[in-house]
Amino acid sequence: MIDEVQKNVIDRFEQVAPYTPIEPFEVIAQKVGRKPEDIIKLDANENPYGLSPLAREAMANLQWGNIYPDPESRALRQAIATFLGVPVEQILAGAGADELIDLVLRVILKPGDAVLVAPPTFGMYAFDAKINGGRALEAPRHPDFSLNLDEMRRIVRQQKPRAVLLASPNNPDGRMLTREELEEIFSWDVLVVLDEAYIEFSDGGKLGEQFTLIRRPLERENVIVLRTFSKWAGLAGLRVGYGVFPQWILPVLWKVKQPYNVNVAASAAAIASLQDLSCLTERVEKIRSERSRLFNLLNQVDWLEPIPSQANFILCRVKGRSAKAVKAELMKKGIFVRYFDTPLLQNYIRISVGLPQQHDLLFQVLRELEESSL
């Protein structure tokens, strides 16, 4: 009996390549023989400013850590509803947007069902599809990272995927979907999961205002919009995200989700963050302006081609030398960036937007590398 279980379990996940998460701070610090505070961590799009003062205070004064959290996350969802101007009934919170991606796929996929993704993009979409017994169909983006809409439309018509998963701004390139692209995709007969993990960093709005798409699931049965506190509010380590969903799918999501998915600390920190919007807005503004300064610095490096980004990171094509070697050289100086070398992303590095002084040091090191041949 147990042999059969073992075989089954092993077979079922054999074909799924593991997701490679970022290594923790202490581990990478130890690897390069530095203290965590001396590491310049620009590899996971985290917020360099940390928790907002009110969120920090909420953590320090946390009560009821011994009591299970509210399974409905009522206070948190109400705070989000007020922030967004969306009915609380259509909001579901999760342990990061990651949990919600998994939850949605868990309820919509039967074994063998497919979703459509547009790589290069966030690896969790295809990964979660496979973990949930499904598979990912791919419509690779054009070289400028815009969508191949014709190919996507063809796949939607012919293969009828259960959903299309898209990030805007997209990770790893930072490109936003255009209004035209979105309207076209929303008009298709398919469920669209729009992941707006980085929307708060996009130009043309302040927090709470550039959010025109967040109400779309109230009008359209085929649109889900996901958001997170990880990036703009600096709560990546606490795990809290949310989504706005069309009515029909909510009862199923409620039924299937783990009862205590958002822990009390995460919930308190997220609520406090929403009470600290002026501070967080200022930080988002700083990140935006540092993004443009970083872009200009990277542009001055002959062998780098930075891609314009609307998120808190900049993807760079590395020309005439190895991206992997560049990553390794930066690591020696305590600077961590993400590197890619896949068929669709050949020889790229992705640098998260950090603090001004971190960018100064990064630039200095890149300049030094310029003289070396690698």
Ligand X SMILES: *Cc1c(COP(=O)(O)O)cnc(C)c1O
Residue type, 169: P
From the list 248, 258, 243, the residue with the least C-alpha distance to 165 is: 243
For ligand X, which residue has the nearest CB? 96
Q: Could you count the other beta carbons within 10 Å of the beta carbon of residue 281?
A: 15
Contact pick of 47, 52, 90, 230 for ligand X (by CB under 6 A): 230
- Count of positions on this chain that bind ligand X (CB under 6 A): 13
Q: 225 near 194, Cβ under 8 Å? A: yes
Contact pick of 43, 128, 195, 200 for ligand X (by CB under 6 A): 195
Contact pick of 90, 171, 261, 347 for ligand X (by CB under 6 A): 171
Using the minimum distance from each CB to ligand X, give the nearer residue, 171 or 222: 171
Using the minimum distance from each CB to ligand X, give the nearer residue, 45 or 73: 45
Helices 124-131, 96-108: crossing angle, 10 deg rounding: 40
**Minimum distance from CB of 21 to ligand X (Å)?**
11
Using the minimum distance from each CB to ligand X, give the nearer residue, 127 or 306: 127
Using the minimum distance from each CB to ligand X, give the nearer residue, 224 or 366: 224
Build a one-symbol-per-residue string for 123-152: x at contacts with ligand X by CB under 6 A, - elsewhere: ------------------------------
SS (H, E, C) 323-374: HHHHHHHHHHCCEEEEEEEECCEEEEEEEECCCHHHHHHHHHHHHHHHHCCC
From its phi and psi, is residue 345 left (phi > 0), alpha (psi between -120 and 50) or beta?
Answer: beta
Q: 253 near 43, Cβ under 8 Å? A: no
Using the minimum distance from each CB to ligand X, give the nearer residue, 310 or 334: 310
Longest alpha-carbon distance in the chain: 64
**Minimum distance from CB of 68 to ligand X (Å)?**
22
**Minimum distance from CB of 83 to ligand X (Å)?**
16
Contact pick of 174, 217, 241, 354 for ligand X (by CB under 6 A): 241
Candidate segments 20-28, 49-57, 70-78, 228-236, binder of ligand X by CB under 6 A: 228-236
Using the minimum distance from each CB to ligand X, give the nearer residue, 166 or 369: 166
- 3-state secondary structure at position 118: coil
SS (H, E, C) 128-182: HHHHCCCEEEECCCCCCCCCCHHHHHHHHHHHCCCEEEEECCCCCCCCCCCHHHH
Determine if 197 is a binding residue for ligand X (CB under 6 A). Answer: yes
**Minimum distance from CB of 364 to ligand X (Å)?**
28
Instruction: Please report, as residue ranges, which positions from 296 to 325 form the binding site for ligand X (by CB under 6 A).
Output: none
Contact pick of 59, 107, 236, 361 for ligand X (by CB under 6 A): 236
Using the minimum distance from each CB to ligand X, give the nearer residue, 32 or 344: 344
- 3-state secondary structure at position 2: helix
Instruction: Please report, as residue ranges, which positions from 26 to 65 form the binding site for ligand X (by CB under 6 A).
Output: 45
Q: If you write DSSP's letter for every residue of 283-300 in order, what string do you get?
A: HHHHHHHHHHHHHHHHHT
Using the minimum distance from each CB to ligand X, give the nearer residue, 233 or 365: 233
**CA of residue 176 relative to chain centroid, distance:** 13
Question: Which H helix or E strand runs over 251?
Answer: helix 250-256
Using the minimum distance from each CB to ligand X, give the nearer residue, 90 or 228: 228
Contact pick of 108, 167, 185, 335 for ligand X (by CB under 6 A): 167
Beta bridge partners of 340: 348
Build a one-symbol-per-residue string for 73-102: x at contacts with ligand X by CB under 6 A, - elsewhere: -----------------------xxx----
Q: 310 near 201, Cβ under 8 Å? A: yes
Instruction: Point out which residues bind ligand X (CB under 6 A).
Output: 45, 96-98, 122, 167, 171, 195, 197, 228, 230, 236, 241
